Chains A and B, each alone.
Chain A
Amino acid sequence: MLTLAMAGSSAAQADTQDDKPFEFGVISQRSPLLTAQYWNPILIYVSKISGVPLRLRVGKSGVETNAMINHGTVDFIYSNHIFHPENDGAGYRVIARDGTKAISGQIVVPKASQIRNLKELTGKSVAFPSKVAFVGYMVPILALHEAKVEVVTRFAGNQEGAMGQLASGTAEAIGVNSEVMREFAEREKFAYRVIWSSKPYLSMPIAAKSSVPSAAVEAVRNALIGMKQDPEGRKILETCAKIIGDKSIEGFEPASDGHYEEQKRLYRLVVKMTEKAS
């Protein structure tokens, strides 16, 4: 398979081994194809600017992405799953984040649905992306638990999988990432209604594995953060945004582990809650 190696910064290039690309994992919020269409141009750009060859890795589902993190098979990762307690030993640290200001967890129904609030979801079929999704599962399932609403849970593999179940009527409601849901609805002309929304959370982090040379990590981080300011990078971001139906060009922002303490806390809370329930 073609590597994304490009000529670039000599310092970062020196840290690579035999031009073997670094694996850049991306959580499957959408279909793998759409995910690759969105991320490959970005990674090609970052590889060129940073001199660090990157190769996209996409899991078939959130569970698979979580397994990639857990087993440390990816060098960089774009996912909240690094905050799951079971991935504590994986050794990832946040180096940047998605430029989107904030994301929320939501529970949504089709616009024509009779369901108006969480209580009316009792006994209904509710789909989630996966058991390890943050705003797609952890946040909404906690809300349902606190509202003492028992639902029949389904897992669709990724965000758009759950949206597909909602659109087809397989699920009566779904737990989603507010941004992914908005993009999906615009792209697919799907009308929906939010019956519950969480407080805003910081957007999805990009983390690097501790084993990746710091020069390479820094080069990648700088390339990502500087992308929005670079005309070439901005153009790529515009093109990619159109692919998923997003109109805003947010790019990437600097971030660190400290910005995600709330996510870590929530993950632990839900895991404990689930363990207690089982």
Chain B
Amino acid sequence: MNKGSYFNRGKLSLAVRLLIGVGLVMLIVGSLMVIMVLRADIKMEKEQFSRRASEQADFIRMSITEMALVGDYATIRQMLRSRVQDEALDRITWSDDEGKTIKEESKELLDTVPEWFVQFVGITPIIESSVIEVGGAHYGVVTIQMSPTSVVKRIYGRMLIGIESTVFAMVILFSLIAIVTARSLGPLKLLEAAAQEIEKGNYSVRVTPGGSSEVRGPIMAFNAMATQIEVLLGQMRKLAGRMEKAREEQNKSIARELHDSLGGNLTMLKLGLGRLSEIAGEDHKCQPKIKSLLDLSDSTIHLVRDLTAALRPSMLDSLGVLPTIKWYAGEFSRMTGIECQVDLCKDAVCSKEHSTALFRVVQEALTNVARHSNASRVFINACEEEGKLVVEIVDNGKGMAEVINKDVSNGTNSFGIIGMRERTQFMQGEFDISSVPGRGTTVAISIPIGKT
């Protein structure tokens, strides 16, 4: 993975962050709603509870007044027993004016609500008394004790329903938002993948516009940008190809001039010096000078031949690229002392342009081996695979810490590699360079055969 890749930054995606944000907001809003409703409910129940206590006391007082007047204690007891069954009442007492209990009925209430909630609601039991008075005479006091248990239970039940409803609504809403977000932002994933393809050098990738309008815009802009890059790269490659061709032509012209003019002149000079030596005779005092000039002529002729070959090996045109690579490998080994093994297929044929470009790539690769690898051995393998000529240059050198496998230099001075890549792309082929520090470097070129 390349260091500093844009696409690996950030731990959470926009969609996840959006959903987390929305979820938190919904949670807060939902909680606030539940609390507000609960508070209103408690306030209302408190008021009702207080009012109900007063009403209950009055109702019971009125109910038993007539029975108290006629002394119907049995009916009073039955009535109190019946009334105390009311969910909110847990004690009814009918006492005389001195506080002596005449009748009392009570019941036990089971508290099924958590204690913390009871504390939170804060409704306390109410004891309400009502004097039975008829025409100025007293017939005792009715005292009721109302427990908030049933009220708290009711509030608790409603709170649970409220929470359940809110959670249900939140889940539904959250799901809807998640679906809409996924549908809207889903194409961004495709955009990201396409951008990664661009990063790898695949400029033909495009993304089908989809999702929300906010996302479709960037996708269309991306596609336009990719198209523009592809066009520019094509133009750049054409330009590079032309430049390469022009340079090769120039090299070829210079080599021919060197060979034909300078080489011819030097040959004539050498022949003239030979004739001059014969005329002067073996014992002539000029013989040592003539011999020295003849040696100089020979070495200059060799130099011209080497220069000519370096500018453009003539065998590229006569024998083809693979024999030229084999020849060059020998020269490379002779000049650098690095053992060079060559294993080439015999019947792979390339066009003239591709031959030159392929030779230049191999030449650059071997130059890099000599300059940077500290290798003792290099292996060149060329074979035909599925209609492609695949050439590998493998050395046993120190390798590279970072491999440039992109079209564009990442701020480094790897112009040699860029050149090799450009030449390969000119041949509509694929270029790859891989290396492990301490375990050498492999340069692989794959070009289609038969395409010219």
A1 touches which of B65, B70, B140 (Cβ 8 Å)? B140
**How close is B115's CB to chain A, nearest CB, in angstroms?**
42
Interface size class of A (residues with CB under 8 A): 20 to 34
Least CB distance from B81 to A in Å reads: 20
B2 shortest CB reach to chain A, Å: 99
Does A38 sit at the interface, judged by CB under 8 A?
yes
Could you tell me the distance in whole angstroms from the C-beta of A232 to the nearest C-beta in chain B?
13
9-residue interface stretch from B129-137, B173-181, B272-280, B296-304: B129-137
How would residues 18 to 31 of chain A score, 1 for a CB under 8 Å from any chain B CB and 0 otherwise? 00000000000001
Contact status B69-A33, CB under 8 Å: yes
Question: Chain B interface mostly helix, strand, loop or mixed?
Answer: mixed
The answer to whether the Cβ of B96 comes within 8 Å of any Cβ in the partner chain is yes
Nearest A residue to B71, CB-CB: A57
Q: Which residues in window 24-68 of A have CB below 8 A to B? A: 31-33, 35-41, 43-44, 56-60, 64
Question: B96 to chain A: which residues have CB within 8 Å?
Answer: 1-2
Complex Cα distance A245/B321, Å?
137
Q: How many Å from the CB of B93 to the closest CB on chain A?
A: 15
Tell me, rounded to whole Å, the shortest Cβ–Cβ distance linking B178 to chain A.
Answer: 68
A2 touches B135 (CB 8 A): no
A60 to B72 Cα, complex, angstroms: 9
Interface centre among B134, B135, B138, B140 (most CB of A within 10 A): B135
Judged by a CB distance under 8 angstroms, whether A95 is at the interface is no
Interface size, B (range) = 10 to 19
Please determine whether B138 and A2 come into contact, CB atoms closer than 8 angstroms: yes
| Residues in A whose Cβ lies below 8 Å from that of B97 | 1-2
Expressed in whole angstroms, the minimum distance between the Cβ of A263 and any Cβ of chain B is: 25
Which chain A residues border B140 with CB–CB below 8 Å?
1
Task: Answer whether residue B66 sits at the interface, using C-beta atoms and an 8 A cutoff.
Answer: yes
Q: Which residues of B contact A40 (CB under 8 A)?
A: 134-137
Q: Are A36 and B69 in contact (CB under 8 A)?
A: yes
A interface secondary structure, majority: helix
Contact B137 A44 (CB under 8 A): yes
Asked if A32 contacts B135 (CB within 8 A), the reply is no
Q: A2-B96, A59-B70, A60-B70 known; A33 and B138 CB under 8 Å? A: no
Rounded to whole angstroms, the CA-CA distance of A164 and B137 in the bound complex is 27
Contact B69 A41 (CB under 8 A): no
CB distance from B67 to the nearest CB of A (A): 8
Q: Kindly list chain A residues whose C-beta atoms are within 8 Å of the C-beta of B71.
A: 57
Contact A39 B135 (CB under 8 A): yes
Residue in B72, B96, B134, B138 whose Cβ sees the most chain A Cβ within 10 Å: B134
* Interface residues as binary, A238-257 with B (CB distance below 8 Å gives 1, 0 otherwise): 00100000000000000000
0/1 per residue, B125-156, Cβ < 8 Å to A?
A: 00000000011111110000000000000000
A contact residues around B135 at 8 Å (CB): 36-41, 44, 240
Shortest Cβ distance from residue A203 to the other chain B in the assembled complex, whole angstroms: 21
Query: How far does the alpha carbon of A31 sit from the alpha carbon of B62 in the complex, in Å?
Result: 13
The smallest C-beta distance from A225 to any residue of chain B, in angstroms, reads: 21
B55-95 vs A, CB cutoff 8 Å, 1 = contact: the mask equals 00000000001101111100000000000000000000000
- What residues on A are CB-neighbors of B70 within 8 Å? 32, 58-60, 64
Contact in complex: A36, B138 (CB < 8 Å): no
Return B163 CB to nearest CB of chain A, in Å: 50
CA distance in complex: A84, B213 (Å): 105
Complex: how many Å from CA A37 to CA B66? 11
Once A1-B96, A2-B96 are accepted as A-B contacts, the answer to whether A56 and B66 lie under 8 Å apart by CB is no
With contacts A2-B97, A58-B69, A60-B70 known, is A37 near B138, CB below 8 A? no
Docked CA distance A64–B136 (Å) = 24
- Closest Cβ neighbor of A40 among chain B residues: B135
Contact indicator A36/B137 (Cβ below 8 Å): yes
A-B contact pairs, 15 of them (CB 8 A): A1-B140, A4-B137, A32-B69, A33-B65, A36-B135, A37-B134, A37-B135, A38-B135, A39-B135, A40-B134, A41-B136, A44-B136, A44-B137, A58-B69, A60-B70
- Given A38-B135, A44-B137, 18 further pairs, Cβ under 8 A: A1-B68, A1-B140, A2-B96, A2-B97, A2-B137, A2-B139, A31-B66, A32-B69, A33-B66, A33-B69, A36-B137, A37-B135, A39-B135, A40-B136, A41-B135, A41-B136, A43-B137, A58-B70
The 8 A-B pairs of least Cβ separation, nearest first, read A40-B135, A2-B138, A40-B137, A36-B134, A32-B69, A37-B135, A60-B70, A33-B66
